[in-house]
Amino acid sequence: MSVYHTIKSRVFNVLEVSKHKGDLSWKIDAFIIVLIILNVVAIILESVETISMEYSSEFFYFELFSVIVFTIEYIFRIWVSNLYPSYGHPVTGRLKYALTPLALIDLLAILPFYLLFTSLDLRLLRMFRIFRIFRLFKIARYISALSLINRVVSRKKEELIISLIFTLFLLLLTSTIMYYVENGAQPEKFSSIPETMWWGISTLTTVGYGDMYPITAMGQFLGGMIAIIGIGLFALPTGILASGFSQELAHQSHQAESCPSCGRPF
Amino acid sequence: MSVYHTIKSRVFNVLEVSKHKGDLSWKIDAFIIVLIILNVVAIILESVETISMEYSSEFFYFELFSVIVFTIEYIFRIWVSNLYPSYGHPVTGRLKYALTPLALIDLLAILPFYLLFTSLDLRLLRMFRIFRIFRLFKIARYISALSLINRVVSRKKEELIISLIFTLFLLLLTSTIMYYVENGAQPEKFSSIPETMWWGISTLTTVGYGDMYPITAMGQFLGGMIAIIGIGLFALPTGILASGFSQELAHQSHQAESCPSCGRPF
Amino acid sequence: MSVYHTIKSRVFNVLEVSKHKGDLSWKIDAFIIVLIILNVVAIILESVETISMEYSSEFFYFELFSVIVFTIEYIFRIWVSNLYPSYGHPVTGRLKYALTPLALIDLLAILPFYLLFTSLDLRLLRMFRIFRIFRLFKIARYISALSLINRVVSRKKEELIISLIFTLFLLLLTSTIMYYVENGAQPEKFSSIPETMWWGISTLTTVGYGDMYPITAMGQFLGGMIAIIGIGLFALPTGILASGFSQELAHQSHQAESCPSCGRPF
Amino acid sequence: MSVYHTIKSRVFNVLEVSKHKGDLSWKIDAFIIVLIILNVVAIILESVETISMEYSSEFFYFELFSVIVFTIEYIFRIWVSNLYPSYGHPVTGRLKYALTPLALIDLLAILPFYLLFTSLDLRLLRMFRIFRIFRLFKIARYISALSLINRVVSRKKEELIISLIFTLFLLLLTSTIMYYVENGAQPEKFSSIPETMWWGISTLTTVGYGDMYPITAMGQFLGGMIAIIGIGLFALPTGILASGFSQELAHQSHQAESCPSCGRPF
């Protein structure tokens, strides 16, 4: 095995999530995790105007440093990716790897920075700022808990789609009716069906901001009916996801002997 | 078999929901589904004043086209309906079919358009606009998921009626008490028991718009009690419907090996 | 058996909830149920000023008629009550019966009317109006579903008390902390701990009227924590009651073969 | 056994939670519980300005009396604590006991009062007032129900941490996106990511105060999506805690014959 391959295989092992606390791979993992968390903290703090003003240069150098590290990480990951059996081919395998969700996140976390140099469009700067939040997703590789979402959603896909069709159907129906009922009394608030759908979601999810609500007797009667009926239907996706999670958690923690909803052994 | 009967039977088969992707019946289904969706989109967009102004003629011609298609569809459906064994009689069978929910929806989706010609009453125009939303229900024929609602509601009818009596009882009781408690302090808001019931629903469903809330010490104390107790009782229909849906979904997807709520094998 | 006893026993049977549709007892039941519902409708309508103004004499005569009927019913019920084996004694048995919840409701439904004659105090009139809502409870005798509440609450008494202590504890703790945190910034709104408890209930039940909310950074941080933690604890009574009801419903409908939460047979 | 040890052992038994109604230990327990409740009532009432003004001396003497009693109780508890087998050593054992949660609560309930004498700093007075709420926790020793929290939280620790990571992740993601979307239209309300997180919690918990809500079309679309998706994920900790409690309650009340969630015998 050539030196090239030895180094490549070493890099591969180091980049993999470490299982032995304290070795180099573990240290690199810890370093990247800390850097991701610091990036998220930086994004949050930079949004506070007084802080972003005072520490603008610090934020810039930290950004530069982070992008360099994440770029090196990305290049290394692409380089060694064809050591995975499923991405074996030097070109097409690496390309296939580059299109996996985790690799795309790695790319999206750094790409906007480089795009900034192509032009100085202000909208691009704005876009760049939003896209930085993708760095938060980089942590998904290290937190196995987050991979639960994938498994739960894919396992319950069919039920979720059915319940989404329900809720959309209900939302359309109630918003259309409510628009015609309330539009006369509140033409600026219930100004169109899309506007009324904001009321519909706010009511059906029981958030109830209070920026829109029916004021006519007919609107309040229908609104009350919608609130009562709607809650039942909107409970559906909640119930599906909740049961999906508790199922997955029960599988994961191997506490298969007892019902996760009531804790009694079977 | 006469040419008449051959054509009739052909039309019947085409109008039935197709099971073979790509044949004529499937193409007609797809065309009608797309037309329904476009109608719903048109209803939504037409409610936005700026759009309805600019494209008023486009909306009119699309409406005309839709009504013609839906009318032809309706006439064909009535014509061939006596081919169903349960609606066999040429007159009474067709009448019985015309009174089924799906056929009534088909009629209500086009009828208001024709009623418009009988007079030019503005209220009728308004009515016509609201009734167009029935076109959304036409899609129910093609989405088997929506027939779940029927089955769930009819299976859980008894429980739902009991819980509705509960909630109505609770709503009446709390609204009456709250009216007498808050009316003195907020005579315009808690102006009558029906008005106070709007507060009651808003609180018991935890929507809480914030347009009405008690301000007296006694009213806030009672309101707090009602919120806590009421949530427990209002959770009942939610729970019944949610369990009803998960029951039906479990039946439908034939995943009979495990309980959808606790993941435990049966 | 004397004529007196024959009549008494006949009255007793008539007043009992009938099991045979169409007989005299059933007709009397129906009459009283309709009268109760009309009373509730009258209470609601009378609260609407425009209606109560225009039909004040109609409301008065209906009130008079109702009180006379309910008084006769009450006297008859007390008279025949010692035919129940458990209230056998002519004096102490009848007294014991008069103190049962249903008999007390019957008394409270008419008593305020007679108290009105003792003085013309305006506060008494107000009291009288509130107490009329007890007539709604009279219907509990005829709707077996409402007796579910009693059974559920008494079966789950222990759990409910524990969860009430929890919620009270949590409410006290969060309201006290929030008062000291927000009082400086919003002295009129978070003016005292009892006032802040109104915010606490509104947040913990997720009603969120929006009349009170923290505005300081510390207050919003704590408020967010309280909202997240609190929801978990407040879900407890909801869950207990919901499971209690579904248990009772399962018992009642004898559908003992399948789990009420997932519908799978056991 | 010396008189010293007899007295010490007697004090130990008296301070322990009594199991025999009516004996000295029970009377002392009752006295301390009543004193704790009165302290909580005093804290609540003192926060009402009109009351605290009028009865300022009464509040002061009650405070003095309470602190004296709680101090004596604390000294006695520390003194006899080395009679517990696990805190046997006269010095290190007592120190270890003093660091248990219940002993720390006892200390924090009186310490602020003594610190007041060291200086007359107004901030310290404020601190002192907040810390008095720790007296509420003193009651935890007597209410076994409150120890449930500990057991439930520690039993479900792993699931709760996973779901907390989820919710934090979701909160960060939605708040960051919403900040960039709404900041342009409402620069004072969605002024920074931390500020937007207040909106995020308010929406994800469905409290919906109504002090912050998106007004742009994009913001309302995303806000609606977040509300629908978020509710599913936020239901997770609720479900975990609720099931944890019902598990513990089932264990505690030894009602082992049936599942508390579905009423089915095991």
Please tell me whether residue D258 adopts helix, strand or coil conformation.
strand
Q: Which of D194, D235, D261 sits opposite A241 (nearest CB)?
A: D235
Structure confidence at residue D248 as a pLDDT band (50, 70, 90): low
Range with lowest mean pLDDT among B124-128, B224-228, C32-36:
B124-128
Q: Which two tokens stand for residue D101?
A: 């949660």
Q: Do C201 and B259 count as a contact with CB atoms less than 8 A apart?
A: no
The CA distance from C236 to C156, in Å, is 12
Q: Do B210 and D209 count as a contact with CB atoms less than 8 A apart?
A: yes
Higher-confidence residue of A266 and D113: namely D113
The CA distance from B157 to B163, in Å, is 10
Closest listed residue to residue A130, CA positions, set A151, A108, A152: A108
The backbone torsions φ and ψ at residue C23, rounded to the nearest 5 degrees and listed phi first, read: -75, 175
Name the strand (E) or helix (H) holding A130: helix A122-131
Query: What's the confidence (pLDDT) of residue C266?
Result: 43
Query: What's the confidence (pLDDT) of residue B231?
Result: 67
Query: What's the confidence (pLDDT) of residue D239?
Result: 64
Contacts of A245 (CB under 8 A, 6+ apart): A148, A152, D163, D236, D239
Structure confidence at residue A76 as a pLDDT band (50, 70, 90): very high
Range with lowest mean pLDDT among A172-181, B224-233, C169-178:
B224-233
C201 in contact with B, Cβ within 8 Å: yes
Q: Do D145 and C166 count as a contact with CB atoms less than 8 A apart?
A: yes
The answer, yes or no, to whether residue D256 has pLDDT greater than 60, is no
CB-based burial of residue C198 (10 Å sphere; 0-12 exposed, 13-18 middle, 19+ buried)?
A: buried
Neighbouring chains of C at 3+ CB pairs under 8 Å are A, B, D
Helices D193-204, C217-252: inter-axial angle, 10-degree rounding: 10
> How many CB atoms sit inside 10 A of residue C96's CB?
17
The CA distance from B88 to D60, in Å, is 91
B114 in contact with D, Cβ within 8 Å: no
Q: Which of B136, B197, B205 sits opposite A231 (nearest CB)?
A: B205
Name chain A contacts of C208, Cβ cutoff 8 Å.
207-208
Rounded mean pLDDT of B59-80?
A: 92
A167 in contact with D, Cβ within 8 Å: yes
B208 in contact with D, Cβ within 8 Å: yes
The answer, yes or no, to whether residue C243 has pLDDT greater than 70, is no
**pLDDT, averaged across chain B:** 82
A133 in contact with D, Cβ within 8 Å: yes
Query: What's the confidence (pLDDT) of residue C170?
Result: 84
Q: Which of C40, C126, C234 sits opposite B180 (nearest CB)?
A: C126
For residues D134 and D105, the answer to whether their CB atoms sit within 8 Å is yes
Name chain C contacts of D130, Cβ cutoff 8 Å.
176-177, 180
Q: Do D260 and A265 count as a contact with CB atoms less than 8 A apart?
A: no
The answer, yes or no, to whether residue C240 has pLDDT greater than 70, is no
C206 in contact with A, Cβ within 8 Å: yes
**A192-218 as b/e: b if 16+ CB within 10 A:** bbbbbbbbbbbbbbbbbbbbbbbeeee
Model pLDDT for residues B74-85, shown as the tens digit of each residue: 999 999 988 888
CA distance A188 to chain D (A): 13
CA distance A108 to chain B (A): 34
> How many CB atoms sit inside 10 A of residue B18's CB?
18
D186 in contact with A, Cβ within 8 Å: no
Rounded mean pLDDT of D234-241?
A: 65
Residue whose structure tokens are 């039977």: B9
D193 in contact with A, Cβ within 8 Å: yes
Chain B residue whose CA is closest to A194: B44
Q: Do B145 and A158 count as a contact with CB atoms less than 8 A apart?
A: no
Query: What's the confidence (pLDDT) of residue C256?
Result: 41
The CA distance from B30 to D141, in Å, is 69
Rounded mean pLDDT of C87-91?
A: 85
B22 in contact with C, Cβ within 8 Å: no
Name chain C contacts of D234, Cβ cutoff 8 Å.
228, 231
Structure confidence at residue D259 as a pLDDT band (50, 70, 90): very low
What single letter denotes the amino acid at residue A128?
Answer: F
Rounded mean pLDDT of B169-189?
A: 89
Residue whose structure tokens are 């609450």: C153
Q: Alpha carbon of A104 to those of A77, A153, C21, D167: distances in Å?
A: 12, 20, 72, 23
A208 in contact with B, Cβ within 8 Å: yes
Please tell me whether residue D169 adopts helix, strand or coil conformation.
helix
Conformational region of residue D254, where left means phi above 0, alpha means psi within -120 to 50, and beta covers everything else: left
C208 in contact with D, Cβ within 8 Å: yes
Name the strand (E) or helix (H) holding A220: helix A217-252
- Partners of A258 in the β-ladder: A265
Model pLDDT for residues C32-85, shown as the tens digit of each residue: 999 999 999 998 998 888 998 899 899 989 999 999 999 999 999 999 988 888
A209 in contact with C, Cβ within 8 Å: yes
Name chain A contacts of B48, Cβ cutoff 8 Å.
191-194
Query: What's the confidence (pLDDT) of residue D255?
Result: 45
Rounded mean pLDDT of C238-260?
A: 58
Best C162, C188, C218 residue to mutate vs chain D (most D CBs within 10 Å): C162
Q: Which of A159, A213, A259 sits opposite B209 (nearest CB)?
A: A213
Name chain B contacts of D206, Cβ cutoff 8 Å.
206
Neighbouring chains of D at 3+ CB pairs under 8 Å are A, B, C
Structure confidence at residue A31 as a pLDDT band (50, 70, 90): very high
**pLDDT, averaged across chain C:** 82
Q: Do D210 and B210 count as a contact with CB atoms less than 8 A apart?
A: yes
Name chain C contacts of D253, Cβ cutoff 8 Å.
158-159
The answer, yes or no, to whether residue A233 has pLDDT greater than 90, is no
The answer, yes or no, to whether residue A127 has pLDDT greater than 60, is yes
Helix ranges (DSSP H) in D116-156: 122-131, 134-138, 147-155
Name chain B contacts of D261, Cβ cutoff 8 Å.
261
Rounded mean pLDDT of C231-255?
A: 63
DSSP state of A23: S
Closest listed residue to residue D170, CA positions, set D140, D198, D204, D145: D204
Contacts of A223 (CB under 8 A, 6+ apart): A178, A203, A213, A214, B198, B201
Q: Alpha carbon of D52 to those of A49, D47, D58, D131: distances in Å?
A: 42, 7, 9, 18
B157 in contact with C, Cβ within 8 Å: no
Range with lowest mean pLDDT among A22-26, A66-70, A90-94, C127-131:
C127-131
The answer, yes or no, to whether residue C257 has pLDDT greater than 60, is no
For residues D200 and D175, the answer to whether their CB atoms sit within 8 Å is yes
Structure confidence at residue B260 as a pLDDT band (50, 70, 90): very low
DSSP state of C84: S
Structure confidence at residue D265 as a pLDDT band (50, 70, 90): very low
Query: What's the confidence (pLDDT) of residue C35?
Result: 93
Q: Which two tokens stand for residue D20?
A: 């025999």
Structure confidence at residue B258 as a pLDDT band (50, 70, 90): very low
Q: Which of A206, A210, A261 sits opposite C210 (nearest CB)?
A: A210
Chain A residue whose CA is closest to C203: A207
Model pLDDT for residues C94-112, shown as the tens digit of each residue: 999 999 888 888 888 888 8
Please tell me whether residue C116 adopts helix, strand or coil conformation.
coil
The CA distance from A145 to A153, in Å, is 13
CA distance B207 to chain D (A): 8
Rounded mean pLDDT of A3-19?
A: 86
Structure confidence at residue A141 as a pLDDT band (50, 70, 90): confident
Neighbouring chains of B at 3+ CB pairs under 8 Å are A, C, D
Neighbouring chains of A at 3+ CB pairs under 8 Å are B, C, D
CA distance A123 to chain B (A): 27
Structure confidence at residue D158 as a pLDDT band (50, 70, 90): confident
Structure confidence at residue C242 as a pLDDT band (50, 70, 90): low
The backbone torsions φ and ψ at residue C170, rounded to the nearest 5 degrees and listed phi first, read: -65, -40
Chain D residue whose CA is closest to B211: D210
Query: What's the confidence (pLDDT) of residue C3?
Result: 86
Q: Which of B187-191, C139-143, C247-251 has the highest mean pLDDT?
A: B187-191
Rounded mean pLDDT of C133-137?
A: 84
Q: Which of D177, D202, D208 sits opposite A130 (nearest CB)?
A: D177
Best A238, A261, A264, A266 residue to mutate vs chain C (most C CBs within 10 Å): A261
Query: What's the confidence (pLDDT) of residue D266?
Result: 43
Model pLDDT for residues D124-148, shown as the tens digit of each residue: 677 777 788 888 888 877 877 667 6
The answer, yes or no, to whether residue A229 has pLDDT greater than 90, is no
- SS3 labels along B99-110: CCHHHHHHHHCC
Higher-confidence residue of D249 and C256: namely D249
The answer, yes or no, to whether residue B257 has pLDDT greater than 50, is no
For residues A264 and D266, the answer to whether their CB atoms sit within 8 Å is yes
The answer, yes or no, to whether residue D112 has pLDDT greater than 70, is yes
The answer, yes or no, to whether residue B242 has pLDDT greater than 70, is no
> How many CB atoms sit inside 10 A of residue C126's CB?
13
CA distance C254 to chain D (A): 12
Chain B residue whose CA is closest to A239: B242
| Predicted complex: ipTM over 0.85 | no
Separation of first and last alpha carbons in chain A: 55
